[in-house]
Amino acid sequence: MSFRLSVLFVTALLASQANAADNNVAVVRDLATRVGPIVGSAQACRDIDGSRVQVIVDKFQAVIREASSQDADRTDLQKGFERNIADGRNIVGFGKIAQRQHVAAIAATHGLTLVAVADPNADAADVGVPLFPGLRELLHDGPAIDAVALCTPPQIRTAQAAIALAAGKHVLLEKPPGKSVSEIAPLLTAAQASSRALFTAWHSRFAAGVEPARQLLAGRKIDSVGIVWKEDVRVWHPGQAWIFEPGGLGVFDPGINALSILTRILPRAVFVTAAELSFPANREAPIAAGLSMSDSAGVAISAEFDFRKAEPEIWEIVVETDGGTLKLSSGGARLALDGEVKAEGENAEYCALYRRFLELTASGAGDVDLTPLRLVADAFLLGKRRIVAAFED
Ligand code: NAP
């Protein structure tokens, strides 16, 4: 029913805006970015008679013909319209992050449409678009799609990415990109060979304070960096057994967000010098970790990660510099210099993330950065292990 309403709305939009466009190529190009994805969604919906959607396509093509007397303009507009129709989005793994962030961010991004979901146990009523038990079923039986956002646990994500790339889809990898560093290289090769976008989506890097922090630090002497990232796993990951299984990263699941910010804002490459990892007696991944790191200038960088923290939780990075103390708090959403707020923003990380992914899909380029995952791998290589109290969810 909602798709039918969308189609009627598009018809109205076409009628009024196309007249007003009056041979204005820019207006029609902009209109195509709004109409195209809705047409694409309608084409993907089996409940809608294809001939009704075709009426809209035909009308828009008439608008394109009238937009300019130049063949080159009309060809360009037609190609843009087709690209926008084809811009579909598909989520695999409809868990917490898909529901909390991805669905809304996709809906807010012009040029993207969620057309299907794959998840073995999701409730079709919650999903709102065609639901499939797995990626293979979706690719075989589902609507036409161009891209896949993989929001599954990291242990199974790489195999799914390989399937999606082999099917010619652009791929967004939730963080961490996979369960190991080395398994990403074949994905990159496959993506490059087929000119498909592969995106390691480090969402925390898009938090409001991160880019201003990078710019502030660029011209300063850095004396030290301290990271404190402590949260309650029972609050954020209830029932997610995968997180304490091999490849689930344990406390590095949130900790890697801090490392993704660290490696974006510092001017030089960072490396691990020592680590201590606390493993619950009954689990395969650490529940707490302490890291010592440095860079080529010898800056002392420390990180404390703890999954056992109740109130108040803390997600902070403090950088001491020759020009004052820079503090990123709330996971990067707030930046202060010597107590004065320099940047603060609502949580818009995933919208920015999808805008970046859309750019990448337009050119088929990759954006693959494994630096945060390498630091985690090195912490496992160098880390002294302590066995601590068993953890029960
Ligand atoms: P989650 O709630 O456990 O969701 C994972 C989903 O994938 C579940 O619905 C799961 O279904 C489904 N799934 C399992 N096997 C599948 C398969 N073969 N095909 C399709 N779907 C499958 O986990 P999450 O919290 O959303 O986290 C997912 C990823 O996002 C993790 O890498 C995490 O680090 C990242 N992330 C999470 C958050 C957060 O706050 N939660 C924030 C940012 C990033 P079942 O549950 O039925 O097995």
Residue 237 Cα to ligand 1 midpoint, Å, equals 10
Q: If you average pLDDT over residues 293-316, what whole number do you get? A: 94
CA distances for 225 relative to 119, 217, 302, 308, angstroms: 40, 12, 6, 23
Plot region of 22 (φ>0 → left; ψ -120 to 50 → alpha; else → beta): left
Judge whether residue 22 has pLDDT over 60: no
Which domains does the chain show, CATH number per domain? Answer: 3-10+93-203+352-358 (3.40.50.720), 25-90 (no CATH), 204-351+376-388 (3.30.360.10)
Q: If you average pLDDT over residues 265-282, what whole number do you get? A: 98
Tokens of 115: 């057309």
Residue 157 Cα to ligand 1 midpoint, Å, equals 10
Judge whether residue 219 has pLDDT over 70: yes
Asked if 275 and 304 count as a contact pair (C-beta separation under 8 A), the reply is: no
User: In this structure, which amino acid lies at residue 128?
Assistant: G
Q: Which of 29-38, 66-75, 120-129, 155-164 has the lowest average pLDDT?
A: 29-38
Q: Taking the model in full, what pTM does it have?
A: 0.81
Nearest to 23 by CA among 82, 75, 65: 65
Angle at 176 between CA 115 and CA 145, to 5 degrees: 20
Q: How far apart are CA 116 and CA 374, in angstroms?
A: 33
Question: If you search the block for the tokens 């710019």, which residue do you land on?
Answer: 215
Q: Which of 48-62, 63-77, 100-114, 344-358 has the lowest average pLDDT?
A: 48-62
Judge whether residue 271 has pLDDT over 50: yes
Q: How confident is the model at residue 55 (pLDDT cuts 50, 70, 90)?
A: confident
Query: Among positive and negative, which fits the CA dihedral 256, 134, 116, 241?
Result: negative
Q: How confident is the model at residue 40 (pLDDT cuts 50, 70, 90)?
A: low
| Residue 347 Cβ contacting ligand 1 at under 6 Å | no
Residue 337 Cα to ligand 1 midpoint, Å, equals 36
Q: Whose CA is nearest to atom 31 of ligand 1?
A: 153
For a ligand 1 pocket test, name from 91, 94, 96 the mutation site with the most ligand atoms within 8 angstroms of its C-beta.
96
